Amino acid sequence: MVWANPLRRVGGRIVLDWVAMDFEVVSDELFAAKREDFTALRDERVKQARPDRALADRIAGLRKPTVAAWLVNQVSRNCPEEVDRLAELGVSLRRAHEQLAGADLRALSRERHEVLGLLNKRAQWLARKAGYAFSDATSRQVDDTFEAAVSDEQALEAVRAARLSAALAPGSPEQWLTAAVVPARAPDRKAQPRKTAPERKPPTRKQPDRKAPDRKTEREAERKRRDRERAAREEVAAAIEARDEAAQALSDAEHRAAEAADTVAELRARLEEATKTERERKAEVTAAKKALTAAKRAADAAEKRLADLD
């Protein structure tokens, strides 16, 4: 934690405020702010946090949310009671799947559809209020994120935290069925035949005419086994590291693609607005030209009447 000193003006005087800077507080501030202000505000907080390098690095790592993620964050902040319904739905759906309650499942599915539709409308309203285009892609991403919150508790907590940088993918419905899988029935001990010594007696490993194994050979075999195990562990570690790097690269690429899609949507909206303005201005030019022509004709007529008087 570091102490930041933001300046503010009060009655023409500059006042210096010293406030504690905490990562949680800064995160809430950034993700609650307008999306277009995120980057500038984050960079300002990074500068203020420089005395604490670790804190500054964490703040710098926060990514600007996509339009869909920003909308979900704002819905979660503004309508927490409706997000709580997602949690209740998730619990009820899992219980219904465990009990194989078909009627309850149908009723809960209808309720889930209703709640998701309501949350989507909230997001759409916030998008209009903020001046963002609520495209079909954005609508699907909003639905997917709230759907994920129904089926996965970690996704629910992420939605409740309201600090998403990208939309979430909905989990498989099999997540609800995990607890409903009927375990294999234990074998009936009474039905098992009694063990008899002749049938169950394992073969004797030691043969009277076989010599004891050479200790040097055993040590060599053990050393080779340990070498193989160590190599296998290193291979697994390398594969896991490569997998994690690939997953991170995929996440980064998806985030950049979502940002690009948001930029395209914003540019299209601006283009539509500019095209509309252009049409209006051209109409004004046409009207002005007509007015000028009429004015010229009126002036010519007036001049002619004046000349006739002379």
CB neighbours of 145 closer than 8 A, spacing ≥ 6?
A: 68, 69, 72, 155, 159, 164, 167, 168
Q: Could you tell me which residues are beta bridge partners of residue 4?
A: 19
Q: What Å distances lie between residue 249 and 189, 242, 244, 256, 299, CA to CA?
A: 53, 10, 8, 10, 73
- Give the whole-angstrom CA distance, residue 136 versus residue 128: 14
User: 294: which 2 tokens?
Assistant: 């009429």
Q: Indicate the residue type of 256.
A: R
Residue-level pLDDT at 232: 78
Residue linked to tokens 């690095």: 57
Other CB atoms closer than 10 Å to residue 145's CB: what's the count?
Answer: 27
The pLDDT score that the predictor gives to residue 266 is 72
Q: What is the pLDDT of residue 70?
A: 95
Contact 83, 142 (CB under 8 A): no
The pLDDT of residue 150 is: 85
Q: What is the pLDDT of residues 117-160, one digit of tens each?
A: 999 999 999 999 999 889 999 999 999 999 988 888 888 899 99
For each successive 10 residues of the chain (310 residues), what is the average pLDDT? 49 45 88 93 92 90 92 93 84 72 74 88 92 90 91 89 90 39 38 48 52 72 82 74 67 71 75 86 90 89 80
pTM exceeds 0.85 for this model: no
